[in-house]
Amino acid sequence: MTVTIVGSQLGDEGKGGIVDVYGDAVDVVVRYQGGDNAGHTVVYEGDEYKLSLVPSGAVRGKIGVLGNGCVVNPNTLFEELDALGERGLSPDVRVAERAHAILPYHRVLDGIEEDVKSDDDLEAGTTGRGIGPTYEDKAGRRGIRIGDLLDSETLRSRLEYVVPRKRAIVEDVYDLDIGADVDSEAFDVDILFETYRDFGERLRREGMTVNCGAFLQDRLDAGDEIMFEGAQGTSIDIDHGIYPYVTSSNPTAGAAAVGTGVGPTVVGGGEVIGIVKAYLSRVGTGPLPTELGSVEGQTPEDGGRPEAEDLATTIRDEGGEYGTVTGRPRRVGWLDMPMLRHAARANGFTGLAINHIDVLAGLEEVRVGHAYTLDGEELLTMPPTTERWGECEADLRTFDGWDDADWAAVAEDGYDAIPENARTYLEYVGEELDTPIYAVGVGPGREETVVRVDPVSSR
């Protein structure tokens, strides 16, 4: 049996916390896309762990797997593993040999392209981790896979092909000087070869690499429960998101099969849980019809709601809406129902986990973008182009607010202890998406989650 956890908005919905709560009953937690752009915060026994690559279940002693759909920076991986080791944890993490490796030149090129695009306000506001350039090389059949790091000859020949081409892009396309403008070590075949061969040796020494699909199928056959942990969110999916302000992978549930090597029937035969934040947050540029206030450098010139700056600051501060990876302030807005309807269809959610209702406590009124008006017509889902999405005006519905509460006590007492107005809000979302609410997050801690259905342990 499998459980797939998917972000239903723009990332940062609090997936790590839900993975942690439901992860108790699973044996293996697998990431199927993305890389060290993820930024998952896990609070466990009062300690906070910030992870960008290691699957969050690994904090709780599960086997963590980075699937073939991931892009893996071995440097980040070992840094995170060593830091967890210093805190007394010894996570068991495996990496698919088919996953692609992020190399230093990918990060450099990510930065250069964002810089150039920013002249025309076209930058995606990336995390700068080299995610896009690594997926480009994967699709361009010039990538270096984790399995290649275990084979010196293959590694050397791949680097000898690709590095001169990367140098040419920097020098001839962007007109930059390697050494003066950009770090020369990132473009030095010998240095890259030695560094990545050493990473390969450590991966081999520690028995970390796997043939992902076969490994997972063996575990399923042995009766293990598997969780697929999506990173980012549906609206920054490269196919289903607000292109080009997207990440370069597929956070949507279909990728749990493609990105790990099990069949779609395996994923579809299990549960697919959509993680929803009770309001909206966004890192990066591009339109956001329900945005409150604005964030300089990210909100488009004619976007946001300047009159709601104080409200935006309150939500941002209460919700800690600052990037886990980058520390940047996130843009915030009211819940966007067309975005959620789009996510529910694209992922086929079987259940919802709605987080952060405590953050909205104390507001007199809480609003949601129930629909859009586009060209004078009501629209219940997202239009296919981001330009058209930018033309959508959100039709807001107003709900009565709810008071602050002793949220730890609420979590203990269960769903009926949630303030009535908050339940009205939650039930509206569940009904609109025709999906049952499995869990409600009422605070950042693991104990601060109201669990109505635990899809794994209730089996």
- Per CB under 6 A, does 245 bind ligand IMP? yes
Q: Does 84 bind ligand IMP (CB under 6 A)?
A: no
247/290 with CB nearer ligand IMP: 247
Tally Cβ neighbours within 10 Å of residue 219. 18
Q: Which two tokens stand for residue 431?
A: 């009904």
> Which member of 36, 40, 110, 336 is catalytic?
40
DSSP designation for 329 = B
Least CB distance to ligand IMP at residue 110 (A): 7
Q: How far is the CB of 371 from ligand IMP (least distance, A)?
A: 25
- Contact criterion met (CB below 8 Å) for 452 and 437: yes
Residue of 2, 4, 37, 250 interacting with ligand IMP (CB under 6 A): 37
User: What are the residues whose beta carbons fall under 8 Å from the beta carbon of 312, sequence distance 6 or more?
Assistant: 291, 292, 293, 294, 305, 332
Nearby residues of 344 by Cβ (< 8 Å), 6 or more positions away: 8, 274, 433, 434, 435
By CB under 6 A, tell whether 355 contacts ligand IMP. Answer: no
User: For residues 53 and 124, which CB has a smaller minimum distance to ligand IMP in the complex?
Assistant: 124
Q: Among 23, 35, 119, which Cα is nearest to 75's? A: 35
Does the annotation mark 12 as catalytic? yes
What's the CA gap between 265 and 295, in Å, rounded?
42
Spatial distance between the Cα atoms of 18 and 16, rounded to a whole number of angstroms: 6
Task: Considering only residues 107 through 146, tell me which ones interact with ligand IMP, judged by CB under 6 A.
Answer: 124-127, 129, 131-132
38 is an interface residue for ligand IMP by CB under 6 A:
yes
441 forms bridges with which residues in the sheet? 449
Beta carbon nearer to ligand IMP, 129 or 446: 129
Window 246 to 275, contacts with ligand IMP (CB under 6 A): 246-248
Beta carbon nearer to ligand IMP, 125 or 270: 125
Q: How far is C-alpha 54 from the geometric centre of its chain's CA atoms?
A: 13
Distant-in-sequence contacts of 217-225, Cβ < 8 A, 24+ apart: 217/261, 217/262, 219/27, 219/28, 220/2, 220/262, 220/266, 224/26, 224/27, 224/28, 225/1, 225/2, 225/3, 225/25, 225/26, 225/27, 225/28, 225/456
Q: Does 69 bind ligand IMP (CB under 6 A)?
A: no
DSSP codes of every residue in 371-432: EEEETTEEESS--SSHHHHHH-EEEEEEEE------HHHHHHH-GGGS-HHHHHHHHHHHHH
Window contacting ligand IMP (CB under 6 A); options: 54-62, 140-148, 244-252, 450-458: 244-252
Among the listed ranges 18-26, 33-41, 82-90, 396-404, the one in contact with ligand IMP (CB under 6 A) is 33-41
Contact 343, 234 (CB under 8 A): yes
In the complex, minimum distance from the CB of residue 431 to ligand IMP, in angstroms, rounded to a whole number: 27
Identify which of 288, 310, 239 has the alpha carbon closest to the alpha carbon of residue 125.
288
Residue 439 in contact with residue 21, Cβ under 8 Å? yes
Q: Is residue 434 among the annotated active site residues?
A: no
- The single residue among 39, 74, 444, 445 that binds ligand IMP, judged by CB under 6 A, is 39
Whole-number Cα distances in Å, 385 to 2, 104, 300, 391: 33, 33, 16, 10
Smaller CB separation from ligand IMP, 247 or 435: 247
Q: Which is nearer to ligand IMP, 64 or 213 (CB)?
A: 64
Nearest distance in Å: CB 133, ligand IMP: 9
| Of residues 140 and 264, the one with the C-beta less far from ligand IMP | 140
Task: Spot the catalytic one: 12, 110, 137, 336.
Answer: 12
Q: Look-up: residue for tokens 């991986």?
A: 77
Q: Which of 3, 12, 426, 456 binds ligand IMP (CB under 6 A)?
A: 12
Nearer to ligand IMP, 11 or 419 (CB): 11
By CB under 6 A, tell whether 338 contacts ligand IMP.
no
Cis peptide upstream of residue 251 (ω within 30 degrees of 0):
no
Q: Which of 3, 4, 11, 343 binds ligand IMP (CB under 6 A)?
A: 11
Under the binding rule (CB under 6 A), the answer on residue 229 touching ligand IMP is no
Give the one residue of 284, 293, 441, 445 binding ligand IMP; rule: CB under 6 A: 284
- What are the residues binding ligand IMP (CB under 6 A)? 11-12, 37-39, 124-127, 129, 131-132, 231-232, 236, 245-248, 283-284
Question: Annotated active-site positions, please?
Answer: 12, 40
